[in-house]
Protein backbone atom coordinates (compact mmCIF):
# COMPACT_ATOMS: atom_id res chain seq x y z
CA UNK A 1 0.00 0.00 0.00
CA UNK A 2 1.08 3.54 -0.69
CA UNK A 3 1.60 6.05 2.09
CA UNK A 4 -1.50 8.05 1.16
CA UNK A 5 -3.63 4.91 1.13
CA UNK A 6 -2.44 3.81 4.57
CA UNK A 7 -2.98 7.26 6.05
CA UNK A 8 -6.42 7.31 4.46
CA UNK A 9 -7.32 4.01 6.08
CA UNK A 10 -6.06 5.18 9.48
CA UNK A 11 -8.09 8.39 9.08
CA UNK A 12 -11.25 6.51 8.11
CA UNK A 13 -10.94 4.13 11.07
CA UNK A 14 -10.43 6.94 13.58
CA UNK A 15 -13.25 9.08 12.20
CA UNK A 16 -15.69 6.21 12.05
CA UNK A 17 -14.89 5.10 15.58
CA UNK A 18 -15.22 8.68 16.87
CA UNK A 19 -18.43 9.25 14.92
CA UNK A 20 -16.81 12.40 13.58
CA UNK A 21 -17.61 14.17 10.33
CA UNK A 22 -15.55 13.13 7.32
CA UNK A 23 -14.06 16.61 6.97
CA UNK A 24 -12.23 16.27 10.28
CA UNK A 25 -8.58 15.25 10.18
CA UNK A 26 -7.96 16.65 6.72
CA UNK A 27 -4.55 17.70 7.98
CA UNK A 28 -2.16 14.82 8.72
CA UNK A 29 -0.61 16.86 11.51
CA UNK A 30 -3.86 17.56 13.35
CA UNK A 31 -3.61 16.30 16.97
CA UNK A 32 -5.75 13.19 17.34
CA UNK A 33 -5.80 12.93 21.13
CA UNK A 34 -6.28 16.63 21.86
CA UNK A 35 -9.20 16.67 19.45
CA UNK A 36 -10.78 13.79 21.36
CA UNK A 37 -10.76 11.53 18.30
CA UNK A 38 -8.94 8.63 19.96
CA UNK A 39 -8.97 7.48 23.57
CA UNK A 40 -7.94 4.56 25.71
CA UNK A 41 -11.39 3.10 24.98
CA UNK A 42 -10.26 2.58 21.39
CA UNK A 43 -6.64 1.65 21.73
CA UNK A 44 -6.82 -2.14 21.66
CA UNK A 45 -8.91 -2.25 18.51
CA UNK A 46 -6.80 0.48 16.96
CA UNK A 47 -3.58 -1.46 17.53
CA UNK A 48 -5.24 -4.59 16.10
CA UNK A 49 -6.28 -2.54 13.06
CA UNK A 50 -2.72 -1.29 12.63
CA UNK A 51 -1.45 -4.86 12.89
CA UNK A 52 -3.93 -5.96 10.23
CA UNK A 53 -2.66 -3.23 7.89
CA UNK A 54 0.96 -4.11 8.61
CA UNK A 55 0.24 -7.81 8.46
CA UNK A 56 2.69 -8.04 11.34
CA UNK A 57 2.55 -7.75 15.09
CA UNK A 58 3.51 -4.49 16.78
CA UNK A 59 6.14 -4.61 19.50
CA UNK A 60 4.14 -2.67 22.02
CA UNK A 61 7.04 -2.26 24.44
CA UNK A 62 9.06 -0.24 21.98
CA UNK A 63 6.37 2.27 21.12
CA UNK A 64 6.65 5.78 22.49
CA UNK A 65 3.35 7.49 23.46
CA UNK A 66 4.12 10.31 21.05
CA UNK A 67 3.41 8.04 18.06
CA UNK A 68 -0.30 8.63 18.71
CA UNK A 69 0.05 12.38 18.20
CA UNK A 70 -1.28 12.58 14.63
CA UNK A 71 -1.66 10.65 11.39
CA UNK A 72 1.86 11.50 10.30
CA UNK A 73 3.47 10.20 13.52
CA UNK A 74 1.36 7.05 13.28
CA UNK A 75 2.49 6.40 9.73
CA UNK A 76 6.13 7.12 10.51
CA UNK A 77 6.15 4.84 13.57
CA UNK A 78 4.22 1.87 12.25
CA UNK A 79 4.71 1.87 8.49
CA UNK A 80 7.61 4.01 7.29
CA UNK A 81 10.31 1.86 8.87
CA UNK A 82 8.64 -1.27 10.11
CA UNK A 83 11.87 -2.87 11.24
CA UNK A 84 11.95 -0.55 14.27
CA UNK A 85 8.70 -1.73 15.70
CA UNK A 86 8.07 -5.23 14.43
CA UNK A 87 8.29 -7.87 17.12
CA UNK A 88 11.24 -10.15 16.77
Partner 1 sequence: MADGRSLRSGFIESWKRVPDHVALEVDGNKRSYDTLGTLAASLAATLAREVPDGPLLTAVFGHRSVSAFAGILAALFRGHGYVPLNSAFPTDRTRSMLERTECTCVIVDNQASKQLEEVLTGVTQSLVLIFPERVDVAEFAERFPDHKVLGSADLQPSSDWSEADFDVDPNGIAYLLFTSGSTGIPKGVMVAHRNVNAFVDSMVERYSITESDRFSQTFDLTFDLSVFDMFVAWECGARVCCPTQAQKLLPAKYIQERELTVWFSVPSTGVLMNKLRMLKPGHYPSLRWSLFCGEALPKEIIESFAAAAPNSIAENLYGPTELTIACTLYRWNAQTSPANCELGLVPIGEPYPDMQVLVVDEAFVEVAPGESGELLMTGSQLTLGYWKDAERTNAAFMVPPGKDHLYYRTGDRVRRQNGDSPMVYLGRVDNQIKIQGYRVELGEIEMVMREEASVDTAIAMGWPETSAGADGVVVFITDASVDTKTVLARVKNRLPNYMAPRTIHCIDEFPLNANSKVDRKALLQRLREKP
In this structure, the dihedral spanned by the alpha carbons of residues 14, 29, 73 and 51, taken in order and rounded to 10 degrees, is 20
Query: Going residue by residue from 37 to 66, which x/- string records binding to partner 1, judged by CB under 8 A?
Result: --xxx-xx--x------------xx-xxxx
**Candidate residues 13, 68, 75, 79; the one interacting with partner 1 per rule CB under 8 A:** 68
Q: Is 50 exposed, middle or buried (0-12, 13-18, 19+ CB in 10 A)?
A: buried
Residues that bind partner 1 (CB under 8 A): 19, 21, 33-34, 36, 39-41, 43-44, 47, 60-61, 63-66, 68-69
Amino acid sequence: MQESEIIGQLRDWILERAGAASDRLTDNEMPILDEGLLSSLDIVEFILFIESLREEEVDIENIEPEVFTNLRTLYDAFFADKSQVIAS
